[in-house]
Amino acid sequence: MNVAVQKTKAERAIGEHFATVNGRLVEAAWAKSLRSDAFAHFQAFGLPHRRIEQWKYTDLRERLKEAFPPPLHAAGAPASWRQDVERALGPLAAIEAYRLVFLDGSFSAILSDVEPLLQWAEFVTLAQALRGDGARVRERLVTRGLDAAGAVRALNLAFMSDGAALTVRPGARVDRPVMLVFARVADTPAAITTRNIVTVGSGAELSLIEVHVALPGASPGGQENAATDLLLQRGANVRHVKCLPAGADGVHLSNTDAELGEGSFLRAFQMTLSGALVRNQLAIAFKGKGAKLDTSGAMLAAGSQHFDTTLFVDHEAPGGISRELYKSVLEGRARAVFQGKIIVHPGAQKTDGKQMAQGLMLSPEAEFDSKPELEIYADDVACGHGSTCAEIDPDLVFYCRSRGISEKEARALLVRSFIAEAVDKVEEEPVREALMALAEGWLQQRTT
């Protein structure tokens, strides 16, 4: 017997918003069809909930009480707003990078640096691609495989407004990072949905920084659904940093999907400092032999913040190497979730995979949920995982105080060294220093 599940208030609102958005968009027929198919997937399953294993710690059906509408109009951007973007970026503004800026989910040409980037790469906005034949992005926007656990991805396809479609030419070495800046501007809460499609050609190299901020005067709430698709062709080398600096609130849901070609190397880092509810999901598939992955991250949460990092690493080809290190620092009643799953498929011999998740508790009311998993279907591998959770060692605090360091500074010093192990994996010094500066700012306000 089939029992109909009553839709929540948020699910009903999402349906109403889709009808409005889909009716007013002027897009190619294939894009309209894609959106309708994706929304049908969402309608079939609804928001993910705790009975779905991947969402057992982050029940969206329970937590998402309402769904805001997408922005009605693209935000205009006077050149003077560049200063607001600089302030919102904080220490990240000092990084010399080619910026591609999106305001409330729409590309801002006046705030972006497109022309100098074109000597190494081809760039169009996703909105432009959806209005045309979409040859470069169409094959990457697929609805197959969407199930109950993939409802957020389905919603991203259904509501995506804009994003960067970037293709780095084979053998190119982009001389500075490309920074994708997604800024909330509206003074009323809205749901912003963006998607990036990045292809890095054979032997090419790219440093990609993705930042989500709120400009001065923007609504402190709101909802974001962000997706980034990375395709690394043979021998490509990519460094991807995603950051949510302090200063924004609301809900942030994201999916980062990467395919690694033969001999390619992806270094990924995520830092989460802001948001009432944040879920970052990463899915990395080893498609070619001898590919490498080094992914790490830091979640610094306080108050009642809820941060969730969920990671899937699929070793589908032989000779792959993967390393995962994630750190969480929790104060107040904050909660951090880490779910990391490594799957070694049949035929993926000589796989070397290591995973570690660690939580540092600054309050007895904080919570750290860690669920590392290994599934191995090959017999010649070297894989392992671990997880730890602890408070600051009082003996180490005493050691510092015995050398003239105050208790507050001693605790901050120990937290700083805990975070630094993950941040130090970021190769580029200006980026690494900016990330540590963001962490320092958090520590100055939070560590007691």
| Domain layout of the chain by residue ranges | 9-288
Please, what sign has the CA dihedral across residues 39, 63, 446, 367? negative
Average pLDDT over residues 386-405: 86
Q: Which DSSP symbol is given to 173?
A: B
Burial of 135 (0-12, 13-18, 19+ CB in 10 A): exposed
Q: Find all residues with CB under 8 Å of 320, minimum gap 6, and list them.
A: 260, 286, 289, 290, 291, 292, 293, 348, 351, 352, 353
Please, what sign has the CA dihedral across residues 208, 214, 216, 218? positive
Residue from 206, 129, 205, 113 nearest 165 by CA: 129
Average pLDDT over residues 146-150: 88
pLDDT digits (tens, 9 = 90+) for 332-384: 999 999 999 999 999 999 999 999 999 999 999 999 999 999 999 999 999 99
Instruction: Tell me what pLDDT residue 329 has.
Output: 96
Q: Which DSSP symbol is given to 347?
A: T
Of the CA atoms within 13 Å of residue 247, those in its CB half-sphere come to: 21
pLDDT digits (tens, 9 = 90+) for 106-142: 999 999 999 999 999 999 999 999 998 877 788 889 8
Instruction: Tell me what pLDDT residue 21 has.
Output: 86
Name the band, by pLDDT with cuts 50, 70 and 90, for residue 25. Answer: confident
Name the band, by pLDDT with cuts 50, 70 and 90, for residue 178. Answer: very high
Instruction: Tell me what pLDDT residue 394 has.
Output: 85
Residue from 210, 208, 122, 206 nearest 172 by CA: 206
Residue from 118, 112, 230, 256 nearest 179 by CA: 112
Percentage of the chain beyond pLDDT 90 is: 79
pLDDT digits (tens, 9 = 90+) for 63-98: 999 999 998 766 566 667 889 999 999 999 999 999
Name the band, by pLDDT with cuts 50, 70 and 90, for residue 1. Answer: very low
Helix, strand, coil % over all residues of the chain, rounded to 5: 30, 35, 35
Instruction: Tell me what pLDDT residue 2 has.
Output: 47
Average pLDDT over residues 174-190: 94
pTM of the model: 0.95
Name the band, by pLDDT with cuts 50, 70 and 90, for residue 447. Answer: low
Neighbours of 82 (CB within 10 A): 15
